[in-house]
Structure 1
Amino acid sequence: MKSAVETLNPTRVRLTVEVPFEELKDSLDAAYKKINQQVTVKGFRKGKIPARVIDQRFGRGAVLEEAVNDALPKFYTEAVNTAEIDVLGQPEVDITELKDGETLNFTAEVDVRPALELPEDFSSIEVEVDAVEVDEEDIDKSVEQLRERFASTSPVERAAEDGDVVTVDLQAKVDGEVLEDGVAEGVSYTIGSGELLEGIDDAVKGLEAGGEATFTSELKGGSAAGKEAEVTVKVTQVAARELPELDDEFAQLASEFDTLEELRADSRKRLENMKQYDQATQAQERVLEKLLELVEVPVPEKLLEDEINTRKHNLEHHQLGQMGLTLDKYLEIQGKTAEEFDTETREAAVKGIKTQFVLDELVKREKLNVNQEELTEHLMRRAASSGMSPDQFAQAVVEGGQVPLLVGEVARGKALATVVESATVKDTNGEVIDLDDEDEVEAATETVEAVEGAAETEAEGDEKADA
């Protein structure tokens, strides 16, 4: 077999392949055998029809077509391997010549990974991130949130006020008809929390137990999601929330610490850790932006089109589907036009593809490997974000043949982390930041996932669809 490669543009090539006819022998034999099992000819047992009879009855052309369809993938793969090209997606194959007994010639156009020129080092990259600063106000807010969790309630005989917990019965009507799923009784709601329908706070404030009011609100879920409904709310109980005193006794109740001072010190430490992780993530994102500016990355148009369609599909059928929203309603809530959405999706898809190309090239150049421990940690984190157990998620990934997808994510995260190590990262106070290696790789992997966006495993897609 002879093959040649013609570069059509930086991301697409044409393979021209010439196959001697004798190399079709195995596929021709398989074609005759397959046809033998599918047809019946009087005077011959099934599966025992001679080749010449099949040619006479059904035509040599049908046999050749079957044989060529069987052989083309093998010859194409051989040509790709010989040319040592990194193909993307499926080829467009055109049979240019087929002479029975002589030759098979075909061409295959296919997208390929572009050749990239990466900088020798990344020391020229410099980014600024937020400083890690935790003040007393931050600690007060953290402790107050903990205090809220330990609040108690007691019924009161007065009108409901902000912060009270009311027990209510709800009935929603659309076009004058009560919805089948629009009735709820004994619902507990904290006034001002914003956890129920818009407009309910104003409706219940000022009502005592037994009082009711009617208001209009857009339904967020259920059979009439997105529609305006007339909602009747009846208050059956008003309860005042009582917060525990901020003292050592509270610290012992709400934590493993003996004193409020120790609890506040622990809150400071946790807040600092959170901000340090946010700082690492910010560093990864900004270094990645600088890296992409340094490398010229052509993007295959067909690959880009597929990526855009995948992102739109995931948004519409998985994310919005869970929330009971249509794309039009989502755009209305976001205050975006369809044109703005399309532009943003295209820009995100371009960035995702460029990120994968650049970091994959860096993985190859630096010979970065992913060990079992790193893969397991990544798998467990992805499982947690999908709402599945690690065992369920791992089984779904293996059965879907998507282990390489997860390995690629971790490898690209490690590649980005190496760039960050070489770059200069300063905070807003001008201090040079030395990021923790473990946090750096984890944050880098999450950054890569977020940018690539559509690289969703079948396991997560199925879980979202089921939801």
Structure 2
Amino acid sequence: MKSAVETLNPTRVRLTVEVPFEELKPSLDAAYKKINQQVSVPGFRKGKIPARVIDQRFGRGAVLEEAVNDALPKFYTDAVNEGELNPLGQPEVDITELKDGEVLAFTAEVDIRPALEIPDFSGIEVTVDAVEVTDEDVDKAVEQLRDRFASTTPVERAAAEGDVVTIDLEAKVDGEVLEDGVAQGVSYTIGSGELLDGIDEAVTGLEAGSSATFTSELKGGSAEGREAEVKADVTAVAARELPELDDDFAQMASEFDTLEELRTDSRRRLEQQNQYEQATQAQEKVLDALLELVEVPVPEKLLEDEIGTRKHNLEHHQLGQMGMDLDGYLKIQGKTAEEFDAELREQAEKGIRTQFVLDELVNREKVSVGQEELTEHLMRRAQSSGMSPDQFAQAVVEGGQVPVLVGEVARGKALALVVEAATVKDTNGEIVDMDDEDAEDAEDGQATEAAGTDGPAAGEAAAGDADAAEKATEKAAESGQAGA
């Protein structure tokens, strides 16, 4: 077999392959055997029809077509390996010559991973928010905990902000009560903003047994996005009572004996949260700086596939689980379809560029992934997905997604090398030490996002196997995960 590679652009090549006819013999034999099992000829037992009879009765062309279809994948793979290419997706194959007994020639156009030159990145310097927790931050955290332990007492007076009212709701559109527009016994805290727009003003000042009607845009259901006339009947009013902020509250709401110990723990938790957010911010900024240093051409077909995968996952997995369609989502986001498509294209392109760059670093630095690292990553992914580690692991294995997770860990380690070489300062001018668990989690998250955390499909699409990734995403979604 002879093959040649023609570079069409930085991300696409054309393979020209010429195969001597004798190399088709194994596939020709297999073609005759297959046809033998499928057809019947009077005077011959099934499976024992001579090749010359098959040629006479069914045509040599049918045999050649079967043989070529069988042989092409192997010849294409051999040509890819000979050319040391990294193909993305399926090739477009065109048979240019087929002479019986002489030669088979074909061309194959396919997208490839571009060759990247990654320059010295040790000069990258980024600035992140300083980790600062004020007394007001601690007060707010303790107050939120206090709010969770509030009690309610029925009152015989008009409802005011902060009260909990029990209401029956009825929504009408164009004068007709919606089938899914009736709800009874709804508990609502006035001022929380957790129900319909306009309900706070409508029920404030009402006593039990009173009602009010107001107009509001529905946020869900069969008439989502439409204006509705909503009737609210108040059946009960209760005052919320907050517990005293003292040692008794600390003992009731936590494992601590004193309020001061509770406040100290709240400060510690806030500092940890801020450190994680700081680490995530550092990863994002270092990654953006790295991408600015590297010119990364993106195959157009791969980009379109990635956009389609992300949009499919959003519509059918994430929004579907919330009972919302894309139009409703765009309305809530205040975006037009054009703006959404532009943002989606930008995100998809950045995801592909990130994966190409980090994969190049993985290869260049010979980054390896140990079993313990893979297990830790799987545990984190399972936790973020809402699945148990066993469930998540089963979905990964059944979907053939283990290489995807390995790639995510490797990219995280590659990004860690860049962060380690970069200078990270906070807004106070202090050097930030990224060598901690929060930094590892943040790097892990950035690498996962590069592979498309809307589901593993994005990363796998870049590897040329979107179908397998899609199956894994669907399995995860069926188990309660909105996009693995």
**TM-score, shorter chain, exceeding 0.5:** yes
State the one-letter code of the partner of 1:71: A
C-alpha displacement at 1:82, in angstroms? Answer: 1.6
Cα distance in 1 between the residues matched to 2:452 and 2:175:
43
Residue 63 of structure 2 corresponds to 63
Q: How does 1:207-286 map to 2 (within 5 A)?
A: 207-286=206-285
Give yes or no for contact 2:398–2:472 (8 Å, CA) kept in 1.
no
RMSD: 1.6
State the one-letter code of the partner of 1:259: T
Give yes or no for contact 2:395–2:476 (8 Å, CA) kept in 1.
no
Residue 181 of structure 1 corresponds to 180
C-alpha displacement at 1:451, in angstroms? Answer: 4.4
Q: How does 1:339-358 map to 2 (within 5 A)?
A: 339-358=338-357
Residue 359 of structure 1 corresponds to 358
Cα distance in 1 between the residues matched to 2:20 and 2:412:
46
C-alpha displacement at 1:455, in angstroms? Answer: 6.0
Cα distance in 1 between the residues matched to 2:80 and 2:26:
21
Give yes or no for contact 2:400–2:472 (8 Å, CA) kept in 1.
no
Q: Does the C-alpha gap of structure 1 residues 454 and 447 become closer, same or farther in structure 2, counting only changes over 3 Å? A: closer
Residue 75 of structure 2 corresponds to 75
State the one-letter code of the partner of 1:14: R
C-alpha displacement at 1:75, in angstroms? Answer: 0.8
Give yes or no for contact 1:449–1:455 (8 Å, CA) kept in 2.
no
Cα distance in 1 between the residues matched to 2:386 and 2:178:
31
Q: How does 1:142-181 map to 2 (within 5 A)?
A: 142-181=141-180
Which range is displaced more, 265-274 or 333-342? 333-342
Cα distance in 1 between the residues matched to 2:289 and 2:148:
43
Give yes or no for contact 2:291–2:353 (8 Å, CA) kept in 1.
yes
Residue 6 of structure 1 corresponds to 6
Give yes or no for contact 1:164–1:241 (8 Å, CA) kept in 2.
yes
Cα-to-partner distance string for 1:313-361 (whole Å, 9 max, x where unaligned): 2222222223333323322332222222222111111111110000000
Moved over 4 A (4+): none
C-alpha displacement at 1:452, in angstroms? Answer: 4.2
Residue 445 of structure 1 corresponds to 444
| 3-state SS of 1:104 partner | strand
Give yes or no for contact 1:386–1:460 (8 Å, CA) kept in 2.
no
Residue 124 of structure 1 corresponds to 123
Give yes or no for contact 1:220–1:324 (8 Å, CA) kept in 2.
no
Residue 389 of structure 1 corresponds to 388
Residue 51 of structure 1 corresponds to 51
| 3-state SS of 2:225 partner | coil
Residue 410 of structure 1 corresponds to 409
C-alpha displacement at 1:282, in angstroms? Answer: 0.2
| 3-state SS of 2:376 partner | helix
C-alpha displacement at 1:454, in angstroms? Answer: 5.8
TM-score, normalization by structure 1: 0.96
| 3-state SS of 2:446 partner | helix
Q: Which runs of 5+ in 1 are unaligned?
A: none
Which range is displaced more, 206-215 or 179-188? 179-188
Give yes or no for contact 1:318–1:465 (8 Å, CA) kept in 2.
no
State the one-letter code of the partner of 1:40: S
Cα distance in 1 between the residues matched to 2:226 and 2:33:
62
Give yes or no for contact 1:317–1:465 (8 Å, CA) kept in 2.
no
1:423 aligns with 2:445: no
Q: Does the C-alpha gap of structure 1 residues 454 and 5 become closer, same or farther in structure 2, counting only changes over 3 Å? A: farther
Residue 370 of structure 1 corresponds to 369
TM-score, normalization by structure 2: 0.93
Give yes or no for contact 1:217–1:231 (8 Å, CA) kept in 2.
yes
Cα distance in 2 between the residues matched to 1:315 and 1:273:
31
State the one-letter code of the partner of 2:100: D
* Percent identity (aligned): 80
C-alpha displacement at 1:262, in angstroms? Answer: 0.7
State the one-letter code of the partner of 2:429: G
Residue 93 of structure 1 corresponds to 93
Q: Does the C-alpha gap of structure 1 residues 222 and 329 become closer, same or farther in structure 2, counting only changes over 3 Å? A: closer
| 3-state SS of 1:158 partner | coil
Which range is displaced more, 317-326 or 160-169? 317-326
